Amino acid sequence: MSILVTGGAGYIGSHMVLHLLEKGYEVVIADDLSTGNKEAVLANKFYQADIKDEKAMARLFKENQIDGVIHFAAFSLIGESMQEPLKYYENNVTGTLRILKYMDEYGIKNIVFSSSAAVYGESPSPIKENAGTNPTNAYGETKLAVEKMLKWASKAYGINFAALRYFNAAGSHVSGRIGEKRKIETHLIPIALDVALGKIEELLIFGDDYDTFDGTCIRDYIHVSDLASAHLLALEKMANEKKCGLNMIYNLGSEKGFSVNQIVEAVKSVTEVNIRTEIAPRRSGDPAVLIASSEKIKKELGWAPQYTDIRDIISTAWEFRKKMR
Ligand code: UFG
């Protein structure tokens, strides 16, 4: 079985590729390296291409017999999506539209889509999949728009899809080979680790006046390798199912919430370094609390996350970050 992983040089995409290779799948990567890293490309078949590049993608589909698609390629910075929403619509929505057209043309029936908890907006936690969707930012809107497009494409062309709504992806592969490495870093755990490494002087805590037990935002952190295993379960479910037009929407989270302060404490405990912090104004678009209910995928696909302790998750991130160049 040959799987196309778009965005396979990115943080979550590269963990997906490694997981597929470990399970014996053939992998084809499409990634334009605009946010991904060349050294995270682990498959032999690599097309350095924007998924909107019709020439390059036509060649990819012609040269490879693709059995299924796992689609990560997207822009994902919430702040940037508020400044440049059209850039996000063009890349995230149009890019997916092109992939679906190729799938229809080549008779490829299965796609797993990288969606986000950002589709929910401010829903009360724990959030189930049937909660209302009301994104508070343009990034979340593009993910929701794609979910809807998948639904209609599925109806019309008999495509099976799974949209996986991640909460906060964290950690790195246990081998230390790949990890969370971005050109611009805005995420809490890698920034806190950079403070521990002395690369950054202090961590700014964006708001301590939220309606939470300690005033800082609460998030649900899930290990990136557990995200990867969920994608494969969804893909295998589709491949084994004889029916067409399967629609699956699942949350992926640990079902536990940690405040920003608690994450800082956990980073201190793992790294054994003091983390200097300063309270800063709230960051626009940040909901106070986001915690998943992941019962649905556990029950329906038998997903069982391996990393259940936040310190273990942070430890894997720390091991990678110390070595990162
Ligand atoms: N935070 C700080 N200081 C920082 C960075 C972050 O206080 O320097 C806070 C944020 O305000 C937030 C929490 O730490 O309360 C987590 O922030 P991240 O930037 O690490 O992650 P987000 O929750 O903003 O976003 C993540 C993904 C999105 C996804 C979203 C879904 O990056 O792609 O989860 O919940 F949409």
Model pLDDT, residue 85: 96
In this prediction, residues 39-64 reach a mean pLDDT of: 96
- Residue 139 is a catalytic residue: yes
Percent of the chain residues topping a pLDDT of 70:
100
Whether the CB-CB separation of 66 and 3 falls below 8 Å is answered with: yes
Closest by CA to 313, choosing from 201, 199, 183, 220, is: 220
Beta strands 277-280 and 45-47 are: unpaired
Domain boundaries, the chain: 2-170+221-252, 188-219+254-323
In this prediction, residues 255-283 reach a mean pLDDT of: 97
Which ligand 1 atom is the nearest neighbour of the CA of 116? Answer: 36
pLDDT in tens, 110-139: 999 999 999 999 899 999 999 999 999 999
Residue 155 pLDDT exceeds 80 = yes
CATH 3.40.50.720, domain 2-170+221-252, yes or no:
yes
Closest Cα to atom 1 of ligand 1: 188
Beta strands 277-280 and 203-206 are: parallel
Give the distance (Å) from ligand 1 centre to CA of residue 221: 10
CA–CA separation, 188 and 163 (whole Å): 25
CA–CA separation, 127 and 118 (whole Å): 11
If pLDDT is split at 50, 70 and 90, which confidence band does 231 have? Answer: very high
Model pLDDT, residue 172: 98
Residue 325 pLDDT exceeds 80 = no
Whether the CB-CB separation of 202 and 254 falls below 8 Å is answered with: no
CA distances from 4 to 51, 77, 161, 165, 296 (A): 11, 24, 14, 20, 26
CATH 1.20.120.160, domain 188-219+254-323, yes or no:
no
Residue 172 host element (H or E)? none
What does the chain come to in residues? Answer: 325
Percent of the chain residues topping a pLDDT of 90:
93
Whole-prediction pTM: 0.97
